[in-house]
């Protein structure tokens, strides 16, 4: 299968980008595995003609917005992020209309239509810097910052930055419903010397038990330089494959094996090959939406990641 895939990739001049939550079989064939921000940057920089995006719909859409002349394929069109569907462009317009001077900070886990209605995007690795950047701008004292759609990331950013925001009520079912404080305490009982790392999509009770809160990409870099040998990982379990592969001398324990994103796991090796053979499941964004969404993503790419 891998030989066939490499031949196809060459013929199509294709690159495979994969989010860290993908299954091991996808990590092993990807040209690059990373977090949302890193994948956006790769999509913007690549000179490949085809990007096979192993992740969820909004990520492939972001790649297409950044590289409109490239063909972006999502191997399973049903791989969507439920959090991204928790706010629509219509709802956002209505919410904005309730404020005099709204400035919208949109987590990239949103549709292109929602990004088009936003002022700046962020990922979990640069959200604090994005909000600080907005708050440092002129007329900042008269503006109302609207943070969408994740309430947990929003609350985390608000506490960490000290900047008051209005926060939408969306959430990630995988992080919010399955990574629970009692599981963290249980894991700590079994691994008392482990450092607890949590993704900011986790609920605040989990965040307050964590030693450090960080995006998946920052987590991957952090464990390599930490002096700790054991880590309790509070995010989707797909990341464990990369953490273990890159850090053979260290131990990684999930808060719970229940933390799996069913949509990320819809992408399989067979679907990647099928998409490339048949050049199917193209993601594209209407030009008027793309141009507006591009501005908010471009602003995000100018903001540095934390950590």
Q: Which is nearer to ligand SF4, 172 or 275 (CB)?
A: 172
Helix and strand tally (H, E) in the chain? 15, 12
CB-CB contact of 125 with 218 (8 Å): yes
Residue 256 contact among ligand SF4, ligand 13P, none, beta carbon within 5 to 8 Å by kind? none
Task: Single out the residue of 126, 263, 281, 296 in contact with ligand SF4 (rule: CB under 6 A).
Answer: 263
Residue 111 contact among ligand SF4, ligand 13P, none, beta carbon within 5 to 8 Å by kind? none
Q: Which stretch binds ligand SF4 (CB under 6 A): 77-85, 179-187, 205-213, 223-231?
A: 77-85
Taking the complex as a whole, the smallest distance from the CB of residue 99 to ligand 13P amounts, in Å, to 27
Instruction: Show the binding pattern over residues 15-54: x = contacts ligand SF4 (CB under 6 A), - = does not.
Output: ----------------------------------------
Q: Which residue is nearest to ligand 13P (CB)?
A: 35
Give the whole-angstrom CA distance, residue 90 versus residue 71. 28
Give the whole-angstrom CA distance, residue 40 versus residue 198. 22
CA 99 vs. chain centroid, Å, equals 28
Give contact residues for ligand 13P (rule: CB under 6 A): 35-36, 109, 123-125, 172, 201, 215-216
- β-partners of residue 253 are 232
N-term to C-term CA, the chain: 38
Give the whole-angstrom CA distance, residue 229 versus residue 45. 35
Residue 194 DSSP label = P
CB-CB contact of 209 with 185 (8 Å): yes
Give the whole-angstrom CA distance, residue 125 versus residue 299. 14
CA 133 vs. chain centroid, Å, equals 20
Residues with Cβ < 8 Å from 289, sequence gap 6 or more? 112, 113, 116
Q: Which is nearer to ligand 13P, 167 or 276 (CB)?
A: 167
CB-CB contact of 21 with 239 (8 Å): yes
Residue 124 contact among ligand SF4, ligand 13P, none, beta carbon within 5 to 8 Å by kind? ligand 13P
Residue 263 contact among ligand SF4, ligand 13P, none, beta carbon within 5 to 8 Å by kind? ligand SF4
Q: Which is nearer to ligand 13P, 22 or 71 (CB)?
A: 22
Task: Single out the residue of 83, 92, 122, 153 in contact with ligand SF4 (rule: CB under 6 A).
Answer: 83
CB-CB contact of 30 with 17 (8 Å): yes
CB-CB contact of 248 with 25 (8 Å): no
Taking the complex as a whole, the smallest distance from the CB of residue 11 to ligand 13P amounts, in Å, to 30
Q: Is 264 in the site for ligand SF4 (CB under 6 A)?
A: yes
Give the whole-angstrom CA distance, residue 13 versus residue 6. 10
Instruction: Show the binding pattern over residues 208-247: x = contacts ligand SF4 (CB under 6 A), - = does not.
Output: ----------------------------x-----------
Q: Which stretch binds ligand SF4 (CB under 6 A): 139-147, 166-174, 212-220, 281-289?
A: 166-174
CB-CB contact of 194 with 243 (8 Å): no
Taking the complex as a whole, the smallest distance from the CB of residue 1 to ligand SF4 amounts, in Å, to 26
Residue 216 contact among ligand 13P, ligand SF4, none, beta carbon within 5 to 8 Å by kind? ligand 13P
Interface residue list for ligand SF4 (CB under 6 A):
56, 81-83, 109, 172-175, 201, 236, 261, 263-264
């Amino acid at each position: 299968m891998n030989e066939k895939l490499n031949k196809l990739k060459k013929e199509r001049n294709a690159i495979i980008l994969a989010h860290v939550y993908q299954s091991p079989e996808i990590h092993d064939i990807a040209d690059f595995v990373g977090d949302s921000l890193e994948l956006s940057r790769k999509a913007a920089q690549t000179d490949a003609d085809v990007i096979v995006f192993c992740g969820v719909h909004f990520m492939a859409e972001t790649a297409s917005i950044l590289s409109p002349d490239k063909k972006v394929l999502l191997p399973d069109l049903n791989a969507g992020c439920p959090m991204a569907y928790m706010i629509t462009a219509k709802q956002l317009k209505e919410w904005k209309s309730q404020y005099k001077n709204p400035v919208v900070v949109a987590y990239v886990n949103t549709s292109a239509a929602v990004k088009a209605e936003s002022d700046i995007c962020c990922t979990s690795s640069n959200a604090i810097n994005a909000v600080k950047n907005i708050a440092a701008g002129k007329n900042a004292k008269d503006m109302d910052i609207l943070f969408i759609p994740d309430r947990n990331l929003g609350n985390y950013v608000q506490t960490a930055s000290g900047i008051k925001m209005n926060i939408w009520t969306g959430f990630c079912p995988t992080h919010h419903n399955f990574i629970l404080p009692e599981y963290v305490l249980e894991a700590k009982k079994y691994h008392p010397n482990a450092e607890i790392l949590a993704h900011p999509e986790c609920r605040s009770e989990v965040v307050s038990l964590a030693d450090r809160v960080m995006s998946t990409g920052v987590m991957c870099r952090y464990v390599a330089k930490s002096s700790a040998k054991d880590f309790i990982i509070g995010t989707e379990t797909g990341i464990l494959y990369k953490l273990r592969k890159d850090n053979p001398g260290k131990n990684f324990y999930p808060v719970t094996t229940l933390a799996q994103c069913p949509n990320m796991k819809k992408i399989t090796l067979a679907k990647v090959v099928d998409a490339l053979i048949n050049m199917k499941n193209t993601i594209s964004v209407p030009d008027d939406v793309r141009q507006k969404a591009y501005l908010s993503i471009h602003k995000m790419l100018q903001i540095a990641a934390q950590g």
